[in-house]
Structure 1
Amino acid sequence: MAGLMEDEVFKAFSTYAAIVILKMMLMGPMTGFYRHARGAFSNEEDVSGKSAEEKKKQLRTHPDVERVRRCHLNDLENIVPFVMVGLLYALTGPELSSALLHFRLFAGSRIFHTVAYVGALPQPSRGLSWILGMLVTFSMAYRVLSTVLLL
């Protein structure tokens, strides 16, 4: 295990995995912020202690809140596979430059995806950033399978 922590590719993977995981984790508090700022809550207990009229007004959806929430779900669908495949990829012994390219492209694509999603940038900005992240993950998966495939 100590040798793994000395490996440059593993260190790079750990760095970029931590960045995208932290980005994903920040989406929860960001959703809460948007809910409070827009006065749009989804659960009865979120508006407990309010008058019936106030509850009716605040128990609703808001496009900004839904956009952030969907972005968070999209992160779960993309960052979790990246972390799992990226770990296996790092263990295949790729060149550092190739690994850094994969990790940086994925992290950049996810950060831009969030900016495009939350900022409601016009398509195809969000779609292209999503595709880039998926292609990076597929590329790493291909390397893993082509290196260790045993059927």
Structure 2
Amino acid sequence: MESAMNSLQSNPAFIAYAIACLILSTNLIFLWAFSGATRGKTKTAINPEDAAKFGGTLVESDPPEVARVLRAHTNAQANIYPFLFLGLVFVLAGGSACVAQIIFSIFVAARLAHTFVYLKGKQPWRSIFFIIGGLATIGLMLDIIWLLIRG
């Protein structure tokens, strides 16, 4: 087990993957915490027990500013999780460090930028960064297919 871990730690593709995992997970944690902070600023709650405990106003649906953060978080989850699974497959299949560094960097930068512009409500930038991240994911999928075909 120790030699397998040392092997991974000396693999530049794995290091790029690990860094991408850390940054993308931090992005998700930020959005999770920001949704709570935004809800706190609005002093609203959608659950009766939360309204009673924290003194907020009970509402049937989230205020627009909370809903925006929750949509950004949902979008990030829907894009980040598949990429992380595919990234692990890429590394385990013996993908090159150069390809990993390029694709992982593009995806991470696109997702961070997407989060920022989503929260700010900036179009067409939100769509542009979404598309860039999607293209990076498709590129990763194609690289995995190539690795599997090439054997």
State the TM bucket, normalised to the shorter chain.
0.7 to 0.9
Q: Structure 1 residue runs of 4+, over 6 Å off?
A: none
Take 2:142 and 2:20, find their aligned partners in 1: how far apart are those partners? 20
Structure 1 gaps, min length 5: none
Deviation of the 1:111 alpha carbon: 0.6
One-letter amino acid of the structure 2 residue matched with residue 103 of structure 1:
F
Match of 2:102 in 1: 101
Cα deviation per residue 1:78-117 (whole Å; 9 max; x = unaligned)? 1100100011112333333322111111111111111111
* CA–CA distance in structure 2, aligned partners of residues 81 and 103 of structure 1: 13
Secondary structure of the 2:45 match is coil
Counterpart of 1:55, as a letter, is T
Residue type matched to 2:44 in 1?
A: A
Is the Cα contact below 8 Å between 2:32 and 2:73 reproduced in 1? yes
Q: Structure 1 vs Structure 2: percent identity of aligned residues?
A: 26
Q: 1:66 to 1:16 in 2, by over 3 A?
A: same
Aligned residue in 2 for 1:92: 93
SS in 2 for 1:132: helix
The TM-score, its normalising length taken from structure 1, stands at: 0.87
**What's the counterpart of residue 19 of structure 2?**
15
Report deviation, 1:44.
1.3
Q: Distance in 1 between matches of 2:106 and 2:125?
A: 15
* Contact 1:9–1:94, Cα closer than 8 Å, also in 2: yes
- Within a 5 Å distance, the mapping from 1:1-151 to structure 2 comes to 1=4, 2-48=6-52, 55-56=57-58, 60-121=61-122, 123-149=123-149
Residues of 1 paired with 2:88 and 2:148: CA distance? 14
| Other structure's SS at 1:94 match | coil
